[in-house]
Structure 1
Amino acid sequence: GANVHDSQVLPKLLHGHETRYWGDSAYTGQKQIARSKAPGIKDFTNIRGTRSHALTEEERLTNRRKS
């Protein structure tokens, strides 16, 4: 429903035969969950910056390509 965060539904979105997945920063850190459902999956989610570590120009460009 509307009250469920995007990252909480990842296991329900995967059928198990995926080789790659993309997502916005809400999916950052979900690699283990994705691999438990689809063992060979590769994570192409955007990199998220933090207050203490801003994204580099290269990371921003990488995110732009992924989006």
Structure 2
Amino acid sequence: MNYFGYKNSICIDVDHGFIRRYAITPANIHDSQLLPRLLDPENEHDYVWADSAYSDECFEDLLSLGRFESLIHEKGARNHPLSDAAKDLNRVKSAIRACVEHVFGCMTMSMGGMLTRKIGLARNEAWWGLKNMAYNFLRYLQCISHAPVVA
């Protein structure tokens, strides 16, 4: 199967919703290959939430080497479905992971969509970089408008 276009993969601050790191790749690159580029050792939290595409032993080893705590979704397999406890745990993890989807929802609904008509990786990296920065500015404005006033 062929994939065309580019993807914006992000790492966000779970407390405030800012994009901390991002990686722009051609669409044919699997998301799981970007995990090392998205991990942020300077983040105050050492938790990593991700979907089940990252639930492999090599990712667990990578996270433990970087001193991150894995909160990656569990994955079922054929003839080995997830237990009810694993499904419940995945549901709890999904509530945190939804913060990432809010970023993409904002870009789609408020910032002109996710479609880019740029040709080449360099132009797409610049376009997505500016869009990610604009999102962070909008998020900052939203955070300070809800912040308590200190007298």
Q: TM-score range by the shorter chain?
A: 0.7 to 0.9
Question: Post-superposition shift, 1:15?
Answer: 2.6
State the structure with bigger RCO (CA 8 A, min sep 6), 1 or 2.
1
Number of the residue aligned with 1:6? 31
Question: Post-superposition shift, 1:2?
Answer: 1.0
TM-score, normalising length: structure 2: 0.40
Question: Post-superposition shift, 1:9?
Answer: 0.5
CA distance in 2, matches of 1:3, 1:33: 23
% identity of equivalent residues: 35
3-state SS in 2 of match to 1:22: strand
Greater helix fraction, Structure 1 or Structure 2: 2
**Structure 1 unpaired stretches of 5+:** none
Choose which of 45, 48, 54 in structure 2 pairs with 1:21: 48
Number of the residue aligned with 1:55? 82
Question: Post-superposition shift, 1:52?
Answer: 2.2
Deviations 1:8-53 (A, max 9, x none): 01000013245110100111011112233x2x21000110001121
3-state SS in 1 of match to 2:73: coil
